[in-house]
A and B are shown apart, each in its own frame.
Chain A
Amino acid sequence: MRANYIQFNTPQFRILSDKQIEELHFATLQILERTGVAFECEEAIDILGDGGADVSNPNRVKIPSCMVEQAIRTAPKMITLFTREGEPAIVLNGQAGSHFGSMPDCPEILDPYTRKRRKCYVEDIADTARLIDALPNMEWSYLATGHETVPGAIADKVSLLQFILNSSKPVVAEINDVSSLKEMIDLCSIVAGGEEQLRKRPFFGGSSEPVSPLIQGKDAMEKSLLCAEKGIPNVVYGMQMAGTTVPATFPGCLAIANAEVLSQLVVLQLKNPGAPVIYGSILSIMDMKTTIFSYGAPELTLMVGALTDLCHYYKLPMFGTAGCTDAEVVDAQAGAEITYQILISALTGADLVHDVGFVYHGRTISPELIVFVDEIIDMVKVLMGGIEINDETLPLDLIERLGPKSNYLNESHTLKHFRKFWMPRTFDRSFTKKKGVKGCEQLLKERTIEILKTHKPKPLPENIVMELKKVEKTWFDREGLKHEYPKR
């Protein structure tokens, strides 16, 4: 028996104190009320005007704090993402831990066979989707419009279709424009068994991006409004670049990021109170030597972590960033950067975490790095499991019984518990190496290729696949293209 005893089920970790969070919150309210945000979408401006905002100057729409507080109140505090088959997959509620996801459709891929960076093809999207499907710690995927994998304006939809065909896991997509979003919802409705079913058990979410500083562009807003109207989960996140598009200091950067997301949240909650919105932002620095937006900077992890604290103060689900690197290849730098990010992300509990597998400043996806991160997440899970203290885990009677000069190897207590020790799937712990050392990078390559060669995702019913392909053909027809993908 224990009395007045509190057990930490997980490590405890915060970047910001309650007072710091409040100060950033009030700073944000001041920016929204006094500085204002530029809106370029008529419907959003009308909604804000009707809701009580000062829209006399669309370049500085001023939103009173009561509207912001109201939007935070009506936004859902829990969002569930489902599998393609309609099974609950991920709960986003600020306390269910980090769910990591990758992105199969970067402009370039770091080919796991040749280890060379090259253009990404539709087949690569399918391959990486299968890899994500196979890896236990990749729980969802993000898509980034398919870039130039097929000509014309249909690559974002082709990319989504490839993911759906090759993985059961939930998917969030960047989308070219609102008409593309409509077609994506139609496509996913075929899989879900109707739009109503998709709304009830969403395996698909949209995303839209404010532009820093403080701009809500027309296209992004229109996509967001459609998601809100349809009740489809929608990630709202900006990419603030400290020292260029936002101040070079962390609090300044955080306040603007917060203002960008909350000002969009106000519009969406007015449009449809209760519309599911996933709060986010990738805040990083511009590297002042190279002018790149850094995906490996410790400042990124610190600021995204702080924003997670702020987001969870609102009890909203957080869209985080981890598992990516500035390195061009999967090397020691990559290993250091991803480990640091995954650990802090898990400790802050960012809910839906993207960008696993990015190398070379977000331009390139590396399947090997995804496998690497999957292993790191496995290790971090051990840490997040914390230490539970009870009579079984603190076996004083056993220690007493065995005393000094004994060993625990033959004990049934050891037999019962040792299986909880973490076992690497990819990393190597072997002791004697008669044939020489392979090294981590070689092991990652071998495991990646093995999964790519062997993993078969759960197939969709044949009639659904045929229907999806029929829809795909209409996109190609409309663009005047032959219904085939450019060859790898």
Chain B
Amino acid sequence: MFSYDALAEGIMKGDTNAIESEVNKALNEGVKARVILVKGLIGGMSVVGKRFKAGEMFLPEVLMSASAMHKGLNIVKPLLAKSDQKTMGKIVIGTVEGDIHDIGKKIVGFLLEGNGFEVIDLGVDVKAEVFSKAIEEYEPDILCMSALLTTTMPNMEETIDLLKRKELREKAKVLVGGAPVNDQFAKSIGADGYAPEAGSAVEWVKKAIARS
């Protein structure tokens, strides 16, 4: 018998095999893909998120959970209705031009994926034009930009300006982050938000998507 507890337990432990078998069991027993996703997978991950925030789970454990969750997501995804797929939200993320620092942005990407969002990672040293093309191509809900260097921070503004010129600025909300970035800077360049670290980036994205 399929049980939500077993599924949640599998996510908590990052047990990919358990997730695969529990999700398949659920489908065989006629549970709807959407319910498995929302109640089982995303529900399980939100417990993980809470425990991470409370300091009861650590980042590598959270990432294991996220990848287990993804295993389940990949099984149910083709079975979801179009409208349900959309509720998960789509995020384009990248480190701005001139900056080759990867890890902070990657952690944000991993955690967002782990929370059920579709993440398109454009990598590092991403030019403004590449961000703007990605907005046109993927139509994401959120654009996340990262910079570790003071010298590359202005390229966030440049990207936002380009989006304005191309009339794409309203297509996606913009979230910025990275060690030298702060709230004030985010406001000054016309971003919608700033996250000091990965956990709050996920919270910001969740709220922003819930509002839209």
Contacts and interface: CB of A to CB of B under 8 A. Distances in A.
Interface in B42-70: 52, 55, 58-60
A219 B150 CA distance: 14
Contacts of A176: 150-151
A219 B98 contact: yes
A375 interface: no
A66 interface: no
B100 A286 contact: no
A288 B150 contact: no
Contacts of B198: 291
Contact of B58 (A107, A155, A215, A289): A289
A71 interface: no
B150 A244 contact: no
Contacts of B184: 119
B150 A243 contact: no
A244 B151 contact: no
A147 B197 contact: no
A243 B72 CA distance: 26
A211 B151 contact: no
A245 B98 contact: no
A2 B180 CA distance: 60
Nearest to B61: A288
A211 B59 contact: no
What size tier do the contact residues of chain B reach? 20 to 34
A286 B150 contact: no
A244 B107 contact: yes
Interface string B92-124: 000000101111000100000000000000000
Contact of A243 (B52, B60, B151, B179): B60
A291 B197 contact: yes
Contact of A145 (B60, B150, B197): B150
A423 interface: no
B199 interface: yes
Nearest to A245: B103
A293 to B, nearest CB: 8
Contacts of A148: 150, 185
Contacts of A289: 52, 55, 58-59
B151 A363 contact: no
Nearest to B62: A288
A107 B148 CA distance: 12
A145 B153 CA distance: 13
B58 A363 contact: no
B151 A145 contact: yes
A147 B150 contact: yes
Given A145-B151, A153-B151, A290 B58 contact: no
Contacts, number: 45
Nearest to B198: A291
Nearest to A146: B150
A177 interface: yes
Contacts of A153: 151
A148 to B, nearest CB: 7
Contact of A217 (B52, B100, B197): B100
A40 interface: yes
A237 to B, nearest CB: 15
Interface residues of A, number: 27
A466 interface: no
Contact of B197 (A146, A243, A245, A292): A292
A363 B59 CA distance: 22
A217 B180 CA distance: 19
B103 A244 contact: yes
A241 interface: yes
B59 A286 contact: yes
B130 to A, nearest CB: 17
Interface in A145-174: 145-148, 153, 155
Nearest to A220: B100
Interface string B63-90: 0000000000000000000000000000
Nearest to B153: A148
A119 B188 CA distance: 15
A40 B107 contact: no
A40 B197 CA distance: 28
A107 B179 CA distance: 10
B100 A177 contact: no
Nearest to A244: B103
Contact of A288 (B58, B98, B101, B103): B58
A288 B100 contact: no
Contacts of B107: 244, 291
A241 B58 CA distance: 15
A107 B180 contact: yes
A288 B185 CA distance: 27
Contacts of B102: 211
B60 A211 contact: no
A107 B181 CA distance: 9
Q: Residue among A119, A155, A244 with the most chain B CB within 10 A? A: A244
B139 to A, nearest CB: 29
Interface string B175-206: 00001101011000000000001110000000
Given A147-B150, A363-B179, A40 B58 contact: no
Contacts of B150: 107, 145-148, 155, 176
Of A145, A155, A288, which is in contact with the most chain B CB atoms at under 10 Å from its CB? A288
A176 B179 CA distance: 16
A245 B100 CA distance: 13
Contact of B199 (A146, A219, A291, A362): A291
Nearest to B58: A288
A217 B103 CA distance: 15
Contacts of B52: 289
B180 A288 contact: no
Contacts of A245: 103
Interface of B: 52, 55, 58-60, 98, 100-103, 107, 150-151, 179-180, 182, 184-185, 197-199
7 contacts: A119-B184, A211-B100, A211-B102, A217-B100, A243-B60, A244-B107, A291-B107
Given A146-B150, A211-B101, A290-B197, 16 more contacts: A107-B150, A107-B180, A145-B150, A145-B151, A148-B185, A176-B151, A211-B100, A241-B103, A243-B60, A286-B59, A288-B59, A288-B60, A289-B59, A291-B59, A291-B107, A362-B179
Closest 3 CB pairs between A and B?
A288-B58, A288-B59, A176-B151
